[in-house]
Structure formats: structure tokens, C-alpha cells
Amino acid sequence: MMFASCTKNESDLAAVQKTVDPTEERILNFKHKMIQNLKSSETLSLDSAVWYIEAALNYSYCEIDSAVIVNIDSMFVKVPVSADGTINFSNVIEAYNQLNSGLINIFDQTPGEDINMQFTDISVKETTDKSNEITLKLTTVLTEKGGITNYSNFGDTDYWYPCCEQGKCGQYWGEQLGKDATTQLEYKANFERAYPHNGYITDIDYDYYFGLDFPDYFWQGYSNDCLSPDDMNHWLTQLKDFAHQHKPAGRVIVNYNVQFDFPPGNKSQWGFHDLFLYTGISHYGDLPY
């Protein structure tokens, strides 16, 4: 399986100087310097290294206009860091190459023929045993290919179990196994995201919202409950309203990831939905793609 990159023109560096987007220019200059791979004493701060690696991976591979999540995976790489917290550029290149190879491996190991990388988030893993190195964590979301072209509310046959890939319930019991209310809520919510046509996303980040803290916005109940179409539409509306209320200013919603969770120490089948809300900075424009 081939890992197709976004159709952005990176071959003519002269075109970089003509772009109206300074962020794209920063990314392409970074990629150009990595290709040159010249010996250099240049260093980057940790924050800058993380930004450039994440931005370059998303610029190269992202296809943000997809809604159906098929895999979320992660990997780690260790990177040497100096006493003042900076990273030598050669080590930044090595980290990028390792993460790029790992990303491709995750893609190749994901079943399916129409799969793309929706986005990748790079973060610093806090725990480390050594003061002279840091650990970078790559988290990537893979989705089915295809643009977001239509949206509709839940219909008359949308009776769903709340979790555990139990599929549909009621008179439709036994259908759509492998899916449940969480997968369908995030699928519908992701249909309405604002995303860049022929653009790209930088500064990926996420916030986690514990469902029990927001009972008006997230479903609570038993894992064998049957959610009706009216229930599903209600919680879909609440989910989207909540996300737009809590989305940081200046950022767009990149992905809704709805999960089913149990309260700590709870041994019954009672649980609730919660949310990982991924956001980023979207870049549009008449770019030379």
C-alpha cells in the first residue's frame, strides 16, 4: 500500500518566495534544509523542534477532509537535548525521519485500501529517566478517504447501543456490529467540521472532557441501553454545541473523538460518553498546490 502525500508543490523552492502564506514558507524551508542535510551547529528550542516536525508531517501527508476514523495509533522516539534545553538540528532531522518512518509503518499496518492520514499530533512525553534526552510522542488519526460531501440527522433506523461496538439495538439488533453510538456521534459531528480545501493544519492540540463533569452535554446510562433516533440527535446537538463553546479562539475543530468510559471503581455496566476534542490552526489561500 502506498502512503500518498498531499498534492502540494514542493519541488520549486523559488515558488516559496512568492507564496502569500508565511507559515507555508517556514515549513518548506525546514523541509529543504533537511533534504540538504548539511553539517551545522544550528540548534532549535524544544518548542520549535516540535512545531516544525509536526507541521512538516501534516503538510506532507494530511487529508483533513475525512470523517470516518479507522485507527488511532502512537509511537515514541528519544531525542538528545543539551543542558540549555535546545536540540541540534541534525538530531531534529533524525527525529523527523524516525517519526516519518513510524507513521508510514502505522499506515501500512492499518487494514483497508482507502485510508489516509487525517492529522498527526507531536507532543513531549513528560516522564524521562535521563536529563540529556526527551521523548517525543506521535499520535496519528487514520480515516477513510473521501471528502465530506453530505450531512443529515439520524434517521428512523438509527437505534444504537451506547458502546462496546455492539451495533444497532431494538428491532435492528445484530446489525452494524463493530459500531455503536460513540462511532456514529463522532462520524456525524465530523461531517460538520470546517476544514481547509487544498490547505493544511498546524499547531494540533487536544483537550479532554470528562463526561460526568458535563451531564447536560454527554450521555450517561447503562451499556445495554438502546438509544433511539431522537436520543442520538439530541446528544449530537449537545456534542457540537459543547465543542463550539469550548473550542479555543482562533482554532478550528480538527476531530471529534467520542469515547465510552466507566466511573473510577465502578463495577456495574453504568457509564458515560466523554470527548477528546482536537483543534488546530487552519491555513487557506491561493497557494501553488
**Residue 132 has what pLDDT?**
84
Query: Confidence class of residue 224 from pLDDT cuts 50, 70 and 90?
Result: very high
Give the gyration radius of the chain's Cα atoms.
Answer: 21
> Residue 202 in contact with residue 51, Cβ under 8 Å?
yes
Query: 272: which strand partners?
Result: 220, 261
Residue type, 150: N
Residue 207 lies in a domain: yes
The answer to whether residues 104 and 184 belong to one domain is no
**Least confident among 55-59, 189-193, 276-280:** 189-193
> What's the rounded mean pLDDT across residues 157-161?
97
Over 155-179, what HEC string results? CCCCCECCCCCCCECHHHCCCCCCC
* Cα torsion 139, 144, 145, 146: sign: negative
Q: Choose one of 92, 110, 144: the last residue of a domain.
A: 144
Query: Confidence class of residue 17 from pLDDT cuts 50, 70 and 90?
Result: very low
**Residue 7 has what pLDDT?**
41
**What's 135's domain CATH number?**
3.55.10
Residue 68 lies in a domain: yes
Query: Confidence class of residue 125 from pLDDT cuts 50, 70 and 90?
Result: confident
Cell of 120: 498527526
**Least confident among 5-9, 140-144, 221-225:** 5-9
> What's the rounded mean pLDDT across residues 212-238?
95
The Cα angle at residue 31 between residues 46 and 111, in degrees rounded to 5: 90
Between residues 13 and 54, which one has the greater pLDDT?
Answer: 54
The answer to whether residues 126 and 179 belong to one domain is no
Residue 150 lies in a domain: no
Burial environment of residue 130 by CB neighbours within 10 A (0 to 12, 13 to 18, 19 or more)? exposed
> What's the rounded mean pLDDT across residues 56-69?
77
Residue 26 lies in a domain: yes
**Residue 133 has what pLDDT?**
87
Between residues 262 and 272, which one has the greater pLDDT?
Answer: 272
Task: Reply yes or no on whether the pLDDT at 126 is more than 70.
Answer: no
* Cα torsion 19, 20, 23, 24: sign: negative
Task: Reply yes or no on whether the pLDDT at 176 is more than 90.
Answer: yes
> Residue 75 in contact with residue 99, Cβ under 8 Å?
yes
The answer to whether residues 118 and 177 belong to one domain is no
Residue 11 lies in a domain: no
User: Helix or strand or coil: residue 8?
Assistant: coil
Task: Reply yes or no on whether the pLDDT at 280 is more than 80.
Answer: yes
For residue 17, give Cα distances in angstroms to 21, 34, 58, 72, 129: 10, 18, 21, 36, 43
For residue 61, give Cα distances in angstroms to 26, 27, 80, 120: 17, 13, 26, 9
The answer to whether residues 96 and 182 belong to one domain is no
> What's the rounded mean pLDDT across residues 2-29?
59
**Residue 196 has what pLDDT?**
54
**Residue 216 has what pLDDT?**
96
Question: 78: which residues sit within 8 A by CB, 6+ positions away?
Answer: 133, 134, 135, 136
Residue 205 lies in a domain: yes
Residue 289 lies in a domain: no
The answer to whether residues 31 and 90 belong to one domain is yes
**Residue 36 has what pLDDT?**
80
Cell of 135: 521523548
The answer to whether residues 130 and 42 belong to one domain is yes
For residue 240, give Cα distances in angstroms to 86, 186, 222: 40, 10, 23
Cell of 25: 514558507
**Residue 65 has what pLDDT?**
62
**Residue 194 has what pLDDT?**
55
Residue 152 lies in a domain: no
Report the distance separating Cα 273 and Cα 214, nearest Å.
10
> What's the rounded mean pLDDT across residues 256-262?
91
The answer to whether residues 112 and 204 belong to one domain is no
The answer to whether residues 35 and 126 belong to one domain is yes
**Structural domain boundaries enclosing 198:** 170-283
Q: Domain total for the chain?
A: 2
**Least confident among 145-154, 201-210, 223-232:** 145-154
**Which ranges of the chain would DSSP assign to H, the alpha helix?**
13-18, 22-36, 46-61, 89-109, 181-191, 229-246
> Residue 161 in contact with residue 126, Cβ under 8 Å?
no
Task: Reply yes or no on whether the pLDDT at 286 is more than 70.
Answer: no
**Residue 40 has what pLDDT?**
67
The answer to whether residues 206 and 268 belong to one domain is yes
> What's the rounded mean pLDDT across residues 21-25?
86
**Residue 131 has what pLDDT?**
72
Query: Confidence class of residue 156 from pLDDT cuts 50, 70 and 90?
Result: very high
